[in-house]
Structure 1
Amino acid sequence: MDGTPAPSGPEGRVRAVVSALAEVGPEGLTPAQRVAAVSALEALKGAAAAAQARLTAAAVVDREALGEDSRSVRADLALARRCSPTLADQHAGVARALVEELPCTMAALTRGEISERRATIVVRETACLSLEHRGEVDRRLASVIGGLGDKALAAAARRAGAALDAESLAARHRRAVASRRVSVRPAADGMAWLSVLGPMKDVIGAHLALICEEGRRHVIDPDLPAGEWEAAAATARADTRGKGAWLADRALELLSGRAPGRPQPVEVSLVMTDRVLLPAAFGGDAPADDCASIPGWGPVPGAEARAAVSDGLGEPDAFVWLRRLFTDPTGRDLVALDSRRRRFHGGLRRFLELRDPTCRIPWCDAPAAQTDHLRRAADGGATSAVNGAGLCQRHNLVKEDTGWHVRAESGGAGPQGIRITTPTGSTYDSTAPPLLGEGWSPRWLDDLDPPDDSGDPDVPTDDGVPDVAFFDDARAA
């Protein structure tokens, strides 16, 4: 025992249930009993979600009654639920709607008849209705809500709302049109999703235009001269791309305005070891850990990273820079870097962007859009890598609210760690991820020693301060 008293009250009872669930297993049960247990556990998840909703709604209402910014309590709840603050906002909104406006849906969730996901669907599909009409939709769905799937439930809620207030449906459609946008998000294996949200007729029309063009790509004009016809046929035969690949290539070509294969005028940071970049210099064979990393996106194969560099070098109008990064002997962490400036600029800012590609607050996957002091400069905090962190804009503001304390726990030797204490007294720890991404482990070749560049006299300075983390090599194009 560590001497910590066991939690009491509702928390203690809930944790006792969590402990009891560890003893639930398939041994000695018939197939029917196992299925029945799965059903009971599904009901338990719904009941747990209902309890979370009641507690969440009360926490938000109490904080607002005190005249405080609900942003702080929502950030606290995000850490408690181990999710991003954006998702915590959704949880808080759903909780208040269920507790205050949708009693029948809340009752079904409490009984475990529906999941949190389906309760959220009812909240979402009735959000545009008045309080009176929302309550009526809730009552109309009460008898069927437990037997409908996700799509059927969403359709039923929309239809019931439209029958009560057709104008709200029209207003919702107008707001949807105003929210049209283009977004990009990372995908697995070095890919990314480019999404266009727009009016259905326009999006379908654009997609149909691409489909029609793809259908003509192997059609050759019979009126072409013989020589041109044969060349066109040879080009068509050489194009072995599938339909999906061709559509994607053509869409990106049209959007970027550049021909296939031409370099794109964007900056992509590829972080890799010298062994991955130059395997020939280390015996010719690729290392066992032959992969690079794009900070904030994930790993890519070493061969693909080398090809990206060599392709850029081969283009006359491409700009490629190689920047050497110095790490600790394990290769896990960048070395520390200090600055005399009040703000994080230059090499120090690049240092933090590489070390903290995403927000350092646990479970927040938002890009680290801002770099800031953990201990405020006004309180004597240094403008240094140890006292700096990459944060999303929201958490950078939240940490300044009353009751929030964020401080550096370690630095220098080993990864930088920070400790977050919320207004309710809960504490959470965050450790800087490995330079090459989580899941990486150091593997030094037996016949090579880790590089020691700590005494390199050629490392330039930034405003008179030694910059031991970065230097830019000459343009390699």
Structure 2
Amino acid sequence: MENAPLSAVGHLVEAVAEMRSATDDFDKITQLEELQTLLNATVGAIARVSVDFEVSQREDQRRRQVPSRERGRGIADQIALARRISPAQASRDLGFARAMQRDLAGTGELLSSGLITERAAQAVHRETDHLEPSLRREVDRELASALPDLGVRAAANAARRAALAVDPEGAAKRARKAAGDRAVWFKAEPDGMCKIVAFLPAPEGTAAFGALKKDAATEQATGAIDGRTRPQVMADMFVERLTGRAVREGTPVEVQLVMGADQLFGDTPQSPSTSPTPETSDPDGPAWLDGYGPIPAALARAIVAGHPGLFGPSPAEADRAQAWLRRVFTDPVTGQVTAVDPRRRRFDGTLRRFIRIRDQVCRTPFCDAPIDDTDHVHSYAEGGPTEVDNGAGVCRRFNLVKEMPGWTVRVVHGDPAGDGGVDPPPGHGHTIKITTPTGKTYRSTAPPVPGAVIAAPHTSGSVVELILAERLDLRWSA
């Protein structure tokens, strides 16, 4: 495949990659116009090819005698691997592609011609998704002439007005359905922060937010905010009312720390062997908080200490902390997770915990979903062993997809050709090979611990265990 001639698209990609900015600013703007048109048209082409691929794959599944209720499974997953996006995003994009081909053909043609952006086409898709196909096509015909001159918000408003006009009862039905879809989501954000998003009916949401604003204003008026801003007071009230605990009391957690001893204690432990050999992890580098992701070492120490100021505790305060801590040991040469301390008040599956911490998120390439299942790479039903090397953390979706005809998943680390049969070298990253029904192959290697600094091979991982055992021994429960 490496020596295969470039396709027409390949030549286009090569030309765009080598393109340089024009000398004259007028020509630079012209380049931007043309590139945006190309980008729009590319999205339209992706939609067309995706739909055609879905049709042919469904026919292939029919020939393979896949039960009708399961046909279609795994198609978006193959598209996701090819486009280097998550399966969830590929599913959404495939739904959009179907609409552009079948119900919103006019909008799809404008997109494929480069006359409207993907965001504008998505807005029309989103605002008309609840309509019957015939009504959706009617809205599409009405909007076609106006869309090229509209921005994203204007396109959404125009589509919403047209949808209301062709189906006046639709708004009430959608409102009733939306109330049944109320939910709460969690999303990790940079700098050790997160978002908790609530999807609520407007009256309840307005009342909840209004209550926070009103009570925060009362505290501000009485001088009880202690230097905090009103948004900070509202955020603190939000947490207190959900958990029943004051923010300043700290939150009880079990921190599955993936961090070196020097990160936790703020010093550099010395090897107990001959000459002192310092650990090589970065004391200020990122740690890993299970369920969230990378966090600053200072924040990890603060969580352990239950310190109300988050970044306030010194290493000595963290050392005296009474929060539950579970040790996670890493290989100092490769940065890979090598062991998880089983000691805590409850023993609830150290093997599962190990794989979850090692893999961090679903092992499907480009899938950012949280781990739902600790899966046997070589199926348990076919004799696959229940051990670390044969385990992989995956989302529920991929656990079902990989059982479809034509899919294979195998452990291949230590085997350069990917053909199996070679034992992995010690400390090598856990690698699996995924083959799709079309014969395309993809590899997934467990990531190194965030912030790990690769050490010289002679550094012993036992240093971390010895230092932690010395400092924390009195606080472990068997």
From 244, 256, 261, the equivalent of 1:269 is: 256
1:287–1:168 Cα change, 3 Å: closer
State the SS of the aligned residue for 1:415.
Answer: coil
From 370, 390, 409, the equivalent of 1:367 is: 370
Looking at structure 2, the residues matched to 449 and 427 of structure 1 have their Cα atoms a distance apart, in angstroms, of 36
1:251-286 deviations in whole A, cap 9, x for unaligned?
Answer: 111111112322334434232101111234648999
Q: Does 1:303 align with 2:298?
A: yes
From 59, 77, 80, the equivalent of 1:78 is: 80
RMSD over equivalenced CA pairs, Å: 3.1
* Structure 1 residue 305, shift from structure 2 partner: 1.9
State the SS of the aligned residue for 1:92.
Answer: helix
For 1:442, the equivalent position in structure 2 comes to 453
* Structure 1 residue 93, shift from structure 2 partner: 0.8
Looking at structure 2, the residues matched to 299 and 373 of structure 1 have their Cα atoms a distance apart, in angstroms, of 26
Looking at structure 2, the residues matched to 421 and 383 of structure 1 have their Cα atoms a distance apart, in angstroms, of 22
State the SS of the aligned residue for 2:475.
Answer: coil
For 1:49, the equivalent position in structure 2 comes to 43
The answer on whether the counterparts of 1:336 and 1:385 sit within 8 Å (CA) in structure 2 is no
Q: What is the TM-score normalised by the length of structure 2? A: 0.82
1:423-465 deviations in whole A, cap 9, x for unaligned?
Answer: 1111111111112x2xx35155x9x9622439x99xxxxxxxx
1:474–1:360 Cα change, 3 Å: farther
Looking at structure 2, the residues matched to 35 and 112 of structure 1 have their Cα atoms a distance apart, in angstroms, of 16
Looking at structure 2, the residues matched to 290 and 74 of structure 1 have their Cα atoms a distance apart, in angstroms, of 37
Structure 2: state its 5+ residue gaps. 271-277, 308-315, 341-347, 414-423, 467-471
1:475–1:137 Cα change, 3 Å: same
Identical columns (%): 38
Q: What is the TM-score normalised by the length of structure 1? A: 0.83
From 178, 191, 194, the equivalent of 2:193 is: 191
* Structure 1 residue 249, shift from structure 2 partner: 0.4
For 1:327, the equivalent position in structure 2 comes to 330
1:279-323 deviations in whole A, cap 9, x for unaligned?
Answer: 3464899955443222453332222222222237989xx963333
1:476–1:261 Cα change, 3 Å: farther
Looking at structure 1, the residues matched to 461 and 209 of structure 2 have their Cα atoms a distance apart, in angstroms, of 55
The answer on whether the counterparts of 2:329 and 2:339 sit within 8 Å (CA) in structure 1 is no
The answer on whether the counterparts of 1:407 and 1:418 sit within 8 Å (CA) in structure 2 is yes
For 2:147, the equivalent position in structure 1 comes to 145
State the SS of the aligned residue for 1:371.
Answer: strand
From 10, 13, 19, the equivalent of 1:15 is: 10
State the SS of the aligned residue for 1:128.
Answer: coil
For 2:5, the equivalent position in structure 1 comes to 6
The answer on whether the counterparts of 1:323 and 1:473 sit within 8 Å (CA) in structure 2 is no
The answer on whether the counterparts of 2:283 and 2:297 sit within 8 Å (CA) in structure 1 is no
For 1:377, the equivalent position in structure 2 comes to 380
For 1:419, the equivalent position in structure 2 comes to 433
* Bigger shift: residues 237-246 or 382-391: 237-246
Point out 4+ residue stretches in structure 1 off by more than 6 angstroms: 283-286, 312-315
1:190 maps to amino acid: G
Looking at structure 2, the residues matched to 131 and 290 of structure 1 have their Cα atoms a distance apart, in angstroms, of 53
* Structure 1 residue 476, shift from structure 2 partner: 5.4
For 2:157, the equivalent position in structure 1 comes to 155
State the SS of the aligned residue for 1:182.
Answer: strand
1:425–1:250 Cα change, 3 Å: same
1:192-213 deviations in whole A, cap 9, x for unaligned?
Answer: 1111111112211211121111
